[in-house]
Structure 1
Amino acid sequence: MPPRRSHKKSRNGCDQCKERRVKCDEKHPICSNCTSRELTCTYLKIPIVSAPGRTAHAVTDRSPDPPHQGQSQLKNQNKQPISSVVSAEPSFVLRDLELMHKFSTDTFQCLCGDQSDMDDWQVLIPQQASKHTFLLHGILALAALHIAATATETTHVLSYLDTALQYYNMSFVPFRQALGALTPVNCDAVFAQSAIMTVIGIALPRLNAQHRGECFSMIENMVTVFELLQGSTKVSRISRPWLKASMFSKYDFWLIETGDLDAEELVAIEKLSRLTTCIADAEHGSANREAIDLLRSCFAKFARSSHPVAILAWLVYTKKEFIDGLRMRQPLPLLILMHWGVLLNELGSHFWWAMGCGRDLVTELLAEIKSQDPVWEQALEWPRKMVGA
C-alpha cells in the first residue's frame, strides 16, 4: 500500500465547510464547495489568544469540538458566536478589578440614552451581575472593548481585545441557557445582557479586524448580529409583563413616543415602499414591507428620543425571512438595511461603539448594490448623502 500523501492542515476554511466538517480549498470570496452547492460562503474568523498577565487559570476549550487555536467567530443563535478557549473561570485578578472600575465609572454611559438611565447601568445592573455570571462576563467584555477602542498603543489594544473576546466567549452559553429559561428573577439580567451583546456584536469584529489587518465585511457582521438577536424577541414577548414592573419598563420600544419625520426622511421611506410594491417576491415581500414599516417607526421614535433602543430595536423585531434575504444578498433587503445604516451613523456621533459603523455599512452596501435603474439610483442617493459616502 502506498504511503498516504501528506497534507497541510489548516483552520482557515470557510464557516460552511467547518460546519459540514469537510476540507475547504479556502478560495476567496467563495470556496469551491460553496460554489458547487450554491451556498453563501463566509469567512468570519476572529483570532483570540489568552490575554497577557492572565496566567492564574488554565486555558483549554469548553466546546466538545477540538479547540480552534488562534481563531474565533461569531455564529448563529444556536451556536457559540466566538469559539471559546477557556474552560475554567478566571480568578478575580487585577484586570477584572480594572474592568469593573472602568464600567462603573465610564463604560456604563455608552448604554444610556439620557440622565435617567445612569443609575440603572452604573449601580443596578452591576448588582444584577453579582447574581448572574453571564452578565458579569458581559460587563467585563464591554469594558475591555471600550479600553481597546480608545487605546493608542497596538500591544495595549490587542491585549484588551483578547480579554474582551475571552469574556464574550464565556458569557455566551450561560446567556443562551438563561434566555431559554426566563423567569421574573433573571429577566432584568437577560435584557441587560441582550443590550450588551448587541453593542459588542456591532463593534468587536470590526475593531478586531482593523487592528489585526484582516478583511472584514460590515454587511456580514450585521447579518451575524441579526442572527444572534433572533432569540431576543422572546425576551420582549415573554418578559414584557415582568419588565413593566422593573427598571427596564422605560426601554420598551413600543412605548417610546414618536416624533415627526422630516421631509427628506418621509420621501426616502416612501421610495422604499414603492420599490417593494414593484418587486414581486411572494417569499420575502411581506417581511420586507414589515421591515420598512418598522424602520419608519425607528426614525419617528429617534426623532423624539435619542435612546439607542429606538434604533437597535429594528435588529430584534425584523423577521427571519428578511434576514434570509440579507444573507442571500437580495437587493431590496440590502437597500432597506442601507437606510437603517443612516440611523446607525447617527448613533456613531453619540456612542464610541457605533463610531464609523454606519458610514462603513452604507459605503459597503453602495458598492454591493449596482443598478442602472433611475428609480433605484434615486433611492440610493439619500443614504449616500446622509453619511457622506
Structure 2
Amino acid sequence: MPVKKRISHAKSRSGCSNCKKRHVKCDEQGPPCANCIARESSTTCHFPSRRPATFSRTTAIIQRPSHSSSSSSNPSPTPPSHPSAPSSALVPTLPLHLDTPLPLTPTTRLLELELLHRWTTTTYRSFTSLPEDIPNMTLTFPRLGLRYPFLLHGLFALAALESSLTCAPADSARYLRAGMAYYDAASRSFRGYLPSLDGAGGDLQYSLYMFSALAMALYVGVPLCSRAVGVVGGEAGYGDEDVLEMVAQIFNLQVGMVELAACNARGLWSSEYGPALVRAEEIVKTPLPGGLGEDTEEALARMKRVVEAASGEEEGMYMQAWGGLKFCFTEEKRDLVRSLCIAWPTLAGKPFMQAFRNGDEVALWMLMHWGVLVHRMGRRAWWAMGLGKRLVTELSEKMMLSTIPEADMSEWWEGIAWARRHVGLDGMPSEPIISLAELTLAPSMLNLTSEEELPPEWGYTRDSLLNGSLLAP
C-alpha cells in the first residue's frame, strides 16, 4: 500500500510563542502580533525562533563589527572601541528596556520613510527656535543621521511619538511602540559613540550635541504620549512619574549639553549650527523694545524681594537664578529665539540645581515661576504640553504649606497666585497650547462621529479638536 503523501500547508514556523501554543497562524508582524493584540496578551508576545541578526536594522547598526581605519568600504564611522564611561547626564534611558526592536520588514521600511517625511515636514517645527535652524533640522539632521544611527533613530522616535498623538486612535499604540523602540535604540547607540569630552569635534560633536537636545524632548514626550494613548505603567514602563524628578532629569540633560559644547566650543560655532548660534547671540544682545510688560515686571520684582530677604550664602545663588529667569522672560516676550526658557537650568547654575533637589523651598518657589514659561513653551512644542502646568500645580501646593520665614511675606503668596493664574488654575481659562495646523496627521482624528469620545487622559475633547487647538491637560 503506497504511503500517503503529506499535504503541504502554510503553517508558520517563526510565529510568536502564544500563537504556537494556540495552534493558530501568526502574522509575524510583532511583537505584539495581531492575534496577541486581539486577545489582550501583548505583554507575553515573544518570538523565540527569531535570531538577533534578523531583528532589525537597529540591531545591525549597533552591533556592526568595527573595521580597520584603512578600510574605505564602511561609510559610517564606528563607535570608539574604548569610550569613556558615559555621564548619566548625557544618556537618558527608558524605564523599560526593549529587547525586541522593530523587525526589518517592508512594513518597517515604509514606516521609516513615513517618519522621515514627517520629521522634515512637521515634527522639526517643535524643535526650531530660529529661521536659521530650519536648514539644520530638515537637511543636516537627516544627512548626518545616515552616518550616526543614534541621530537617525532619534528623529524617527520623535516623529513616531508625534504621530501617536495625531493619528487615528486605532493606530496610536503602534506609533507609540515604534517611538519607544527607536528611542531605546538611539539611546544605546549614543552610548557607543560617546567619546571623551575633550576628543569630540566636527560632525560627531554636533550630532552628539543635537541628539542630547532630542533626548530631552523624547524623555518628556514618552510619558505624555503614554498617558494620551492610554498606555500607563505596565507595558510602557511609565506610571504617574514624579514631575520634579522629570525636571531634575531635564536639568541633567542641560548640563550634559553644555559639557558636549564645551569640549570643542570653537568647533561647534564653526559647524553648520554656527549661523543659528551667531544669530541667537545677536538677538539676545539687543535691548527689548517696550519692556517686559507690567504684569511680568511686577512678578520679577516680587521674586527679587523674596530673594533679597533670604539670608546667608544662598542669596547669591538665588540672584543668579533670578537673573536667568529675567533673561528667559525677556526672550519669551521678544519671541525671536523660541523655547529658550529650556536653557534656564544652565543659567541658574549647578548650586541652584542642587538646592532644588535638596528641597530648598525658595529654590522650589522660583522653579514654580519657571513652570509658567514651560507652560507657554507648550504652545509650539507639543512634547512640553502639560509639563509646566503640572509643575506649577505641584509646587504651588507645596509652597502653600511652607513654614520658612519667606513664606510670611505677601510677595510669596502673590507669586503663588500669579503662577497658578498663568497656567489656568483656580478657575482661570487655560491657554491654547498648539494648533492642529502644525500637526499634519491630525485630520484623521476629525473623522470621529459626535458620539465617539476621546480618552479622558488626552486632556481635550473632540470639540477642541474641531476648534483647532489642543488644551493642556
Distance of 2:127 and 2:115 partners within structure 1: 16
Counterpart for residue 144 of structure 2: 128
Matched, 1:188 2:206: yes
Q: Is the 8 A contact 1:144 1:160 kept in 2?
A: yes
Which of 93, 100, 108 in structure 2 is aligned with 1:81?
93
Structure 2 residue runs of 5 or longer lacking an equivalent are 1-41, 63-86, 233-238, 426-473
- Deviation by residue 1:143-188 (Cα, 9 ceiling, x = unmatched): 11111122341x5323222222222122224435436342123122
Q: Which amino acid aligns with 2:411?
A: V
Q: Which amino acid aligns with 2:114?
A: E
Q: Is the 8 A contact 1:51 1:159 kept in 2?
A: no
Q: Which amino acid aligns with 2:179?
A: A
Offset at 1:126? Answer: 0.6
- Deviation by residue 1:27-61 (Cα, 9 ceiling, x = unmatched): xxxxxxxxxxxxxxxxxxxxx979999x851799x
Which of 254, 262, 275 in structure 2 is aligned with 1:229?
254
Counterpart for residue 421 of structure 2: 385
Counterpart for residue 170 of structure 1: 185
Q: Which amino acid aligns with 2:176?
A: L
Offset at 1:139? Answer: 0.6
Counterpart for residue 113 of structure 2: 97
Q: Secondary structure at the match of 1:212?
A: coil
- CA spacing shift, 1:93–1:300, aligned 2, 3 Å: same
Q: Which amino acid aligns with 1:186?
A: L
Counterpart for residue 385 of structure 2: 355
Q: Which amino acid aligns with 1:201?
A: Y
Distance of 2:273 and 2:171 partners within structure 1: 35
Counterpart for residue 245 of structure 1: 270
Q: Is the 8 A contact 1:276 1:285 kept in 2?
A: yes
Counterpart for residue 256 of structure 1: 283
Offset at 1:127? Answer: 0.6
Q: Is the 8 A contact 2:97 2:184 kept in 1?
A: yes
Q: Is the 8 A contact 1:49 1:162 kept in 2?
A: no
Q: Is the 8 A contact 1:138 1:196 kept in 2?
A: yes
Counterpart for residue 298 of structure 1: 328
Distance of 1:353 and 1:343 partners within structure 2: 14
Aligned length: 326
Q: Is the 8 A contact 1:291 1:319 kept in 2?
A: yes
Distance of 1:194 and 1:338 partners within structure 2: 25
Offset at 1:250? Answer: 4.2
- CA spacing shift, 1:89–1:163, aligned 2, 3 Å: closer
Q: Is the 8 A contact 1:151 1:157 kept in 2?
A: yes
Offset at 1:79? Answer: 5.7
Q: Which amino acid aligns with 2:423?
A: V
Counterpart for residue 273 of structure 1: 304
Single out whichever of 132-141 and 197-206 deviates more from structure 2. 197-206
- Deviation by residue 1:248-299 (Cα, 9 ceiling, x = unmatched): 22443654325232222222122222222222353x5443322221111111
Q: Is the 8 A contact 2:203 2:271 kept in 1?
A: no
Q: Which amino acid aligns with 1:85?
A: L
Distance of 2:345 and 2:163 partners within structure 1: 26
Distance of 1:116 and 1:192 partners within structure 2: 15
Counterpart for residue 139 of structure 1: 155
Q: Is the 8 A contact 2:345 2:353 kept in 1?
A: no
Distance of 1:89 and 1:114 partners within structure 2: 34
Q: Which amino acid aligns with 1:215?
A: D
Distance of 1:151 and 1:217 partners within structure 2: 28
Q: Is the 8 A contact 2:320 2:347 kept in 1?
A: no
Offset at 1:223? Answer: 1.3
Offset at 1:205? Answer: 2.1
Q: CA RMSD in A?
A: 3.2
Structure 1 residue runs of 5 or longer lacking an equivalent are 1-47, 63-74
Distance of 2:45 and 2:128 partners within structure 1: 29
Q: Which amino acid aligns with 1:109?
A: R
Offset at 1:244? Answer: 2.4
Q: Is the 8 A contact 1:86 1:170 kept in 2?
A: no
Q: Secondary structure at the match of 2:194?
A: helix
Q: Which amino acid aligns with 1:170?
A: A
Offset at 1:90? Answer: 5.8
Single out whichever of 132-141 and 316-325 deviates more from structure 2. 316-325
- CA spacing shift, 1:369–1:240, aligned 2, 3 Å: same
Matched, 1:218 2:243: yes
- Deviation by residue 1:309-353 (Cα, 9 ceiling, x = unmatched): 522221344323222222233222212221111111221122322
- CA spacing shift, 1:223–1:80, aligned 2, 3 Å: closer
TM-score, normalising length: structure 2: 0.61
Structure showing greater Rg = 2
Distance of 1:125 and 1:235 partners within structure 2: 17
- Deviation by residue 1:327-382 (Cα, 9 ceiling, x = unmatched): 23322221222111111122112232222222222122212222462331012122
Distance of 2:341 and 2:126 partners within structure 1: 14
Distance of 1:338 and 1:351 partners within structure 2: 19
